[in-house]
């Protein structure tokens, strides 16, 4: 999304995401009727319409459900360099370090994500 928002900006194309919370056929047996009524899909609609408007920002995530709206962000953990020989078992072994959000960063551009990867490549691999 961060890369697409930069590429689309020159043509006034906005790139956003919505994180809806709504009752569906999949959830109808999981919640009481009162909760399902509070989570009607149409209560997400204002966020969808706003994101499609000329006044919409770009590069944002809106969480919406039951008339409640909030802005969300994706953050990335510091991570760890496991080396080129890492496999699924290695990822599992180091998952606690991979998923440690103690020093997490919020990236606003795709290049920041790439720079983060290149930064971790400077670390000596901890495995294999």
Domain boundaries, the chain: 12-72, 75-121
E runs forming strands in 10-119:
17-20, 61-65, 68-72, 75-76, 105-106
Query: Within 10 A of 117 (CB to CB), how many other CB atoms are there?
Result: 11
The rounded percent of the chain whose pLDDT value lies above 90 is 68
Band of residue 109 on the pLDDT scale cut at 50, 70, 90: confident
State how beta strands 75-76 and 105-106 pair: antiparallel
Q: Is the confidence at residue 1, as pLDDT, over 90?
A: no
CATH of domain 75-121: 1.10.287
Return the pLDDT at 57. Answer: 95
Band of residue 127 on the pLDDT scale cut at 50, 70, 90: confident
Q: What is the pLDDT of residues 33-58, one digit of tens each?
A: 999 999 999 999 999 999 999 999 99
The rounded percent of the chain whose pLDDT value lies above 70 is 99
Displacement of CA 48 from its chain's centroid (Å): 17
Q: What is the pLDDT of residues 56-108, one digit of tens each?
A: 999 999 999 999 999 988 899 999 999 999 999 999 999 999 999 999 998 88
Least confident of 5-14, 81-90, 112-121: 112-121
Backbone angles phi, psi at 62, to 5 degrees: -110, 125
């Amino acid at each position: 999304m961060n890369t697409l928002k930069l590429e689309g900006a020159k043509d006034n194309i906005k790139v956003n995401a919505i994180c809806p919370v709504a009752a569906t056929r999949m959830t109808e047996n999981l919640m009481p009727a009162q909760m399902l009524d509070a989570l009607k899909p149409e209560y997400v609609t204002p966020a969808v319409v706003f994101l499609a408007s000329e006044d919409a920002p770009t590069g944002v995530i809106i969480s919406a459900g039951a008339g409640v709206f909030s802005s969300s962000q994706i953050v990335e953990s510091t991570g760890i360099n496991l080396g080129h020989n890492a496999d699924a078992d290695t990822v599992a072994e180091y998952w606690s370090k991979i998923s440690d959000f103690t020093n997490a960063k919020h990236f606003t551009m795709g290049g920041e994500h790439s720079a983060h990867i290149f930064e971790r490549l400077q670390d000596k691999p901890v495995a294999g």
